[in-house]
Amino acid sequence: MKILITGGAGYIGSHTLIELNKAGYDFIVYDNLSNSTDESLKRVEKIINKSIIFEKGDIRDKDALQAVFKKYEIESVIHFAGLKAVGESVAKPLEYYDNNVVGTIRLLEVMKENNCKKIVFSSSATVYGDPATTPIKENFPVGGTTNPYGTSKYMIERILEDVQIGDNEFKIVILRYFNPVGAHESGTIGEDPNGIPNNLMPFISQTAVGKREFLSVFGGDYDTADGTGVRDYIHVVDLADGHVKAINYINAQTQNMEPLIVNLGTGNGYSVIDMVKAFEKASGKKVAYKIVDRRPGDIAKCFADPSFAKEVLGWEANRTIEQMCKDSWNWQSNNPNGYKN
Ligand code: NAD
Ligand code: UDP
């Protein structure tokens, strides 16, 4: 019995393969490589010393998905596949809704037709919009999203909840990630964004390696200790381990269950300047920055209350920001052009 990993060639998926392998799970990767390359899988193969079954395909392609479900015995799905660039989603809303929402509907149809009813879904803290207070608990209001990417995640959450009501054999875990950063300790896999990075950490590391002149810090006048935005950065390997715990949880359920919604964060908030300083220390490089206007849609503070994840999944993040920066730098400095080396 195998776990189907949609989007498994991507940043979080590739790290999760390693943790699943460690835990003794068998998997196959399904990815259309729209935002990744199979080089990530080749590198994971080296790390785990095992070959990976890879089927190239799109989650919107029902025939291709059906063929994969017929070919392998798939017991559960970890669903990473999706487009994730916030700015691009504003410019291309239909592509985002088609890829993320329609793609998930197609996947759920094929799962149901093949009596595969266990799924772990990659959601995001973005579904909380601008929270009234922090730390953020799972029962905080959701849906006040500010861009099509975030709305697509919110819609998928609602669809999953309805799918479970319609067929209560479905066992669903929705993981709301905070800000994934860092890389595997080997430095051979990591985040490899196309073009100019939107996210803070790849921008910082590309500045440190000399690919970017300076970091634009979006806003210095937020209501935070140093005026810059505060986020809950989580090491991607801790996040990957959260998926193993989610699959363990689903497999342990003998009764029907309502969808389980869990925050995956550390509970610590760090500012943009905190991250710059930590990165400079870890890399020994200067990260030039300029404070510029706020980025539209950004909020002052976002960090998790991760206590439910500990209680229900037995999971907690334990890697520090020093480790996150060290591992990001190890990946970036060994692979200045990402997987294109
Ligand atoms: P990523 O882009 O590195 O990985 C996503 C993978 O899905 C890529 O390999 C891409 O080729 C594949 N893919 C996209 N559309 C597809 C389709 N239609 N069919 C098949 N494959 C497709 O992104 P990531 O950072 O690894 O994120 C994984 C998931 O986690 C995404 O759903 C993302 O929205 C979510 N998430 C990411 C973050 C983050 O900051 N990285 C935060 C919260 C949630
Ligand atoms: N940020 C920044 N400069 C950048 C990218 C991000 O100052 O080039 C800030 C952003 O305003 C936010 C934090 O870094 O306060 C994290 O942003 P990111 O886009 O990585 O994640 P988000 O929390 O917005 O999803």
**Segment 237-264, tens digit of pLDDT:** 999 999 999 999 999 999 999 999 999 9
Which of 52-56, 133-137, 193-197, 312-316 has the least mean pLDDT? 193-197
Sheet containing 230-231, strands listed edge to edge, beginning at the edge strand earlier in sequence:
270-271, 230-231, 301-302
Whether 325 has a pLDDT exceeding 80, the answer reads yes
Å from CA of 100 to ligand 1 middle: 9
Model confidence band, residue 341 (pLDDT cutoffs 50, 70, 90): low
Q: Report the distance separating Cα 9 and Cα 35, nearest Å.
A: 9
Task: Name the percent of the chain in helix, strand, coil, to the closest 5.
Answer: 40, 20, 40
Whether 297 has a pLDDT exceeding 90, the answer reads no
Tell me the best of 122, 149, 176, 199 to mutate to test the pocket of ligand 2, counting ligand atoms within 8 Å of each CB and taking the most: 199
Average the pLDDT over 42-59 and give the result. Answer: 98
Query: Are 247 and 3 a contacting pair, CB within 8 Å?
Result: yes
Q: Give 25's contacts (C-beta < 8 A, 6+ positions apart).
A: 3, 244, 247
Average the pLDDT over 260-270 and give the result. Answer: 98
Maximum Cα interatomic distance, the chain, rounded to a whole number of Å: 56
What pLDDT score was predicted for residue 194? 86
Average the pLDDT over 273-292 and give the result. Answer: 97
Q: Is the CB of 35 under 6 A from ligand 1?
A: yes
Å from CA of 221 to ligand 2 middle: 14
Å from CA of 11 to ligand 1 middle: 7
What pLDDT score was predicted for residue 85? 92
Q: Report the distance separating Cα 194 and Cα 198, nearest Å.
A: 10
What pLDDT score was predicted for residue 56? 98
Residue 149 annotated as catalytic = yes
Atom of ligand 1 nearest to the CA of 103: 18
Q: What does the mean pLDDT of the chain come to?
A: 97
* Catalytic-role residue among 11, 97, 149, 233: 149
Residue with tokens 């994840």: 309
Atom of ligand 2 nearest to the CA of 203: 8
For 180-195, letters b (16+ CB in 10 Å) and e give bbbbbebbbbbbbbee
Reported pTM:
0.98
- Measure CA of the first residue to CA of the last residue in the chain; give whole Å: 35
Tell me the best of 18, 65, 84 to mutate to test the pocket of ligand 1, counting ligand atoms within 8 Å of each CB and taking the most: 84
| Cβ-based neighbour number of residue 130 at 10 Å | 13
| Rg (alpha carbons) of the chain, rounded to whole number | 19
Residues with CB under 6 A from ligand 2: 179, 198-200, 203, 215-218, 229, 231, 272, 295, 298
